Amino acid sequence: MWTAKLLLISVAVVGPASPGFPKVIPTVGEVWPHPQMISQGDTYMIVRPSTFKFSVTGKDCDILQEAMKRYKDIMFQSSSHLKTNPKDIWRKDEAFSGYLDTVSINLMQPCEEYPHHDMDEQYEIKIDSPDQPGEGVILAQSIWGILRGLESFSQLLVSDGSAYQAKSTQIRDFPRFPFRGFMLDTSRHYLPISKILEHLDLMAMNKFNVFHWHLVDDQSFPYESAVFPNLSKEGSYSSIHVYTEKNISDIVEYARLRGIRVLPEFDTPGHTMSWGPGQPGLLTTCYKDGEPDGTYGPIDPTNNDNYDFLTTLFTEVTDRFHDHYIHLGGDEVSFSCWQSNPNISEFMKTHNISGEYEKLESVYITKLIELVSHLPNKNGYLVWQEVFDNGIQIAADTIVHIWKSETVPAGWKKEMSKVTQAGYKTVLSSCWYLNYIRYGDDWYKYYHCDPHDFEGTDAQKQLVMGGEACMWGEYVDGTNLIPRTWPRASVVAEKLWSSAAQTNSTEKAVPRLEEHRCRLLDRGFRVEPLWPSFCMSDVDL
């Protein structure tokens, strides 16, 4: 009933006479990701950009002030198209329930400075609810909940051509998983800072809360260090393909204001080719026929200077990024170079681990973990699954990041069972490698993947912190990051925020996802289409 009426108004004012035959008819004013609890009535209030304001009735802070400014812009971005409506047509409509000129923001607890692993993101929204008729309220214990609530509120507004309508609504919402991450890779290609910020905006609009930044890898070292400036001098693609201390603090600040943690990854001992030229002695010298062959392998675990180097570097890194966690990598360590090096063979003999290269890796990771847990900030850490698979001793509160796909070797479901049975926390990425693309609707499989879909007790399921979508950068730079990633990532966002029952049907998701894609496009993001269809703003792309 309601939807039909609203569509009629909108079509009459801005729409075409005939909608053609799009594959999907979008919903109108539905929130993505789906709130845990939402009920809506048949009446609506009118929001007029010229008179609307937020009013702080609880605690206040810079994050809140910035957010209110930002959301007024987001909500009324397209209001220049609104036609003034002197006749006040709504008054004649029996569903019209008054003007919503003020929305109160009621933050109960003082703001925290940085988002963190245990942050509280619950919130409530009331618009013209039975207990507060004619009013609009966003309420939360924590600033992070207020941010999520503002996003949902902004999505409830629907333009009718001369103002915005907001249905009478009650929402009680909270995330299913505390860790809802997205990984970008800035080593295979440099990503412009403006694109990273745009990506953070989109993350906030989809309620992601962890930006996992895979900063460096074999191909380039764009992180500009003050303690070891030679790393990026020798290891970046060029002197302008770097992230300076200032650039990093800007990105961390931008993310903080949106309730997004920035989790840096410095992957070792493999994936470190670009580190070598700026730090002689760090990488293992590879041998052929008894002679160095001019190539290098993973970090040399037998050189004690390397642990001092890592302590100094990671002290700087953890200081710059503020998050309690750091990602230590540990994936895909190739043993062939270690095998070729006579000094390493000698070391292994004296340690009684001849021929057991997993044990050599273990020597390295154990020392790395030891030094990281004694950094001034007492950091926690994530590691890729191989660290667990290779039987390396890890601290009890390590988060094991599962990435290998269904086919290798026993599948992520068995891996989740094993990791949680051993008592470790975990984050799942296996089914959300968005860098794999193909023709057609690849988002269905992202929506069908559920991090709790493995054999295990309730206690084991409790150890699942959430999941993370990854966009590896071999074929991605500033030209295609945003369209290739979005709205495909929105699908992962909903799986991680909304309840299992709310996300068990792709059929129900389709018209909502279509609305959400058009919404992001309306907001100025060049996000790609999902199927044959149209949005009102796609004529101006």
Give 270 or 301: the residue with its C-beta nearer to ligand NAG. 301
Give 129 or 503: the residue with its C-beta nearer to ligand NAG. 503
Dihedral of the alpha carbons of 485, 488, 494, 495, in degrees to the nearest 10:
-100
Whether cis (ω within 30° of 0) applies to the bond prior to 33 is yes
Q: What's the min distance (Å) between Cβ of 242 and ligand NAG?
A: 8
Identity of the amino acid at 481:
L
Q: What's the min distance (Å) between Cβ of 285 and ligand NAG?
A: 4
| C-beta separation of 137 from 501 below 8 A | no
Q: What's the min distance (Å) between Cβ of 367 and ligand NAG?
A: 16
Give 225 or 398: the residue with its C-beta nearer to ligand NAG. 225
Give every CB contact of residue 509 below 8 A, 6+ residues apart in sequence.
Answer: 447, 491, 494, 503
What is the β-pairing status of strands 37-47 and 102-107? unpaired
Identity of the amino acid at 369:
I
Give 184 or 382: the residue with its C-beta nearer to ligand NAG. 184
273 torsion bin: left (phi>0), alpha (psi -120 to 50), beta (else) = alpha
| Separation CA 501–CA 42 (nearest Å) | 25
| Separation CA 360–CA 353 (nearest Å) | 7
Give 168 or 186: the residue with its C-beta nearer to ligand NAG. 186
Q: How far is CA 453 from CA 2, 406, 430, in A?
A: 37, 13, 13
Give 291 or 540: the residue with its C-beta nearer to ligand NAG. 291
Nearest to 387 by CA among 216, 489, 270: 270
Q: Interface with ligand NAG by CB under 6 A: which residues?
A: 193, 230, 244, 246-247, 250, 285, 343, 351-352, 501, 504
| Separation CA 346–CA 409 (nearest Å) | 32
As beta bridge partners, residue 291 has 288
SS3 call for 361: helix
Q: What's the min distance (Å) between Cβ of 424 and ligand NAG?
A: 28
| Whether 135 is catalytic | no
In the chain the first and final C-alpha atoms are separated, in Å, by 33
Indicate which residue of 113, 245, 253, 332 is catalytic. 332
* Both tokens assigned to 142: 């924590």
| C-beta separation of 435 from 476 below 8 A | yes
| C-beta separation of 490 from 25 below 8 A | no
Q: What's the min distance (Å) between Cβ of 232 and ligand NAG?
A: 11
Q: What's the min distance (Å) between Cβ of 193 and ligand NAG?
A: 4
Give 36 or 247: the residue with its C-beta nearer to ligand NAG. 247
Give 4 or 501: the residue with its C-beta nearer to ligand NAG. 501
Identity of the amino acid at 489:
A
Give 112 or 250: the residue with its C-beta nearer to ligand NAG. 250
| Separation CA 307–CA 300 (nearest Å) | 10
Per the listing, tokens 């290891």 go with: 235
Q: What's the min distance (Å) between Cβ of 82 and ligand NAG?
A: 34
Give every CB contact of residue 273 below 8 A, 6+ residues apart in sequence.
Answer: 218, 219, 283, 296
Q: What's the min distance (Å) between Cβ of 77 and ligand NAG?
A: 23
Kindly report the number of other CB atoms within 10 A of residue 479's CB atom: 11
Q: What's the min distance (Å) between Cβ of 170 and ligand NAG?
A: 19
Give every CB contact of residue 409 below 8 A, 6+ residues apart in sequence.
Answer: none
Per the listing, tokens 């619950």 go with: 122
For the annotated catalytic residues, the residue numbers are: 332
